[in-house]
A = this chain, B = another copy of it.
Amino acid sequence: MKITKIQENLLSLQRSIDSGTAEQREAVRNIIEAVRKDGDTALKKLTEKFDGAVLDSLLVSPEEIEEAYSLLQPDLLETIREAAQNIRDFHSRQKRESWYYERPDGTMLGQKVTPLDSVGVYVPGGTAAYPSSVLMNVIPAQTAGVERIVIVSPPDSNGKLPAGVLAAAAELGITEIYKVGGAQAVAALAYGTASIKKTDKIMGPGNIYVALAKREVFGTVDIDMIAGPSEIVVLADETAFPNEAAADLLSQAEHDANSSSILVTPSLELAEKVRDEVLRQLETLPRKEIAQKSIENHGHIYVAETFEKCIEVVNVLAPEHLEILADNPEGWLDAIKHAGAIFLGRYSSEPVGDYFAGPNHVLPTNGTARFSSPLTVDDFMKKSSVISYSRQALENNGAKIAAFARLEGLEAHARAIEERLKEGGK
């Protein structure tokens, strides 16, 4: 973990997004075509090919859900319920209602807010199982009022999904769960097959094939975001505890060899201590191999002259997770312009937010916090504008509207207004 003194030119700190190779794009396009053409047959064939599982039915059965429950320790189930409650409480505060207002001339204007009809949630498979992903995607959808929520997830070679994932889904009342992953799952959610009805929006992270498939179907359906590699920035002054800062950097690093863990501090002394702690704590981690690769390739320590300069670095990085381990962390909140989630003070270790506190853990990665937000209830709702003009309002403004239309060369627009204002018009 290299210590770099920051001088000027901060802009080069950003990583670019992985938009896949030409071969990967081609493979994804072929998978989508196959699913559109052959439906469930294609899904089963691709699941056998990529996941090694031969399935009769893609839908998870009630027996599988029961089995999942029996496998989960009761106190863990209790924790999942408590986390769900916290997440529900936080997200309920995001929910917005329709609003309308009138003008003196009788015009009524407003914004009608309605939930999406259906969403699909992609829960990744692989080395780690993510019941927390289920909670973080499903609960805001339920808070919004989405009627149909579908989960897809790639099965293991025995055709099973992880017990934690199934139990978390069942706890939330979700039973439409399909054992299918990859680009083929995205295609099914976007275009539908005989067994999987199409949805309106696809949520959730996945590997490069999932990301490319989401980009490909975007427009036909909506997608949440194109998730890139995940990152944490720890912004710390000399009051921070090196062991705690190091532990948090490693909690990001263990996710993925592509994850990025960055310390930004004005204190060279802290920088050196954190570096040593990272190397020490790394030794005993079960996922040491992954974390080590991540730290070696994407771990950074930036030392700047002042804490203010450190804030500038943070705003350029626009991190997914930002921890402020400093004296009076709230005092710096206003200065932070771009970050997915901001963790204040030493008791707000990132995993607090990953699992339990309530705010969403689906966050803009890889510098996209410059323009994107955490997943919210808004992502599961849409707005319609409402316009009701009175006769008086049209009489007052009709000529102006028609003139504006003619300025843009759109005569039929002007005439549509004038058709109402004709002499003797009813």
Residues of A within 8 A of B (CB): 16-17, 19, 75-76, 79-80, 82-83, 90, 93-94, 99, 101, 107-109, 111-112, 114, 116-117, 127-132, 164, 200-201, 215, 218-222, 225-226, 228, 241, 243-244, 247-248, 250-251, 253-255, 281, 285-287, 291, 329-330, 333, 336-360, 363-364, 368-374, 376, 378, 382-391, 393-394, 397, 400-405, 407-417, 419-420, 426
Contact = CB atoms under 8 A, between A and B. Distances in A.
B413 A385 contact: no
A370 B200 contact: yes
A226 B223 CA distance: 12
Task: Give the dominant DSSP class at A's interface.
Answer: mixed
A251 B410 contact: yes
- Counting chain B CB atoms within 10 Å of each CB, which of A94, A218, A225, A360 scores highest? A218
Contacts of A132: 404, 408
Contacts of A391: 347
10 contacts: A109-B359, A132-B404, A253-B412, A281-B415, A286-B409, A347-B391, A347-B420, A349-B416, A359-B385, A369-B382
A415 B410 CA distance: 66
A206 to B, nearest CB: 14
A109 B405 contact: no
A387 to B, nearest CB: 5
Nearest to A352: B389
Nearest to A395: B347
B349 A417 contact: yes
B222 A368 contact: yes
Contacts of A254: 410-413
Contacts of A408: 128-132, 164
B359 A387 contact: yes
Contacts of A79: 400, 403-404
A337 B226 CA distance: 27
B291 A412 contact: yes
A355 B405 CA distance: 8
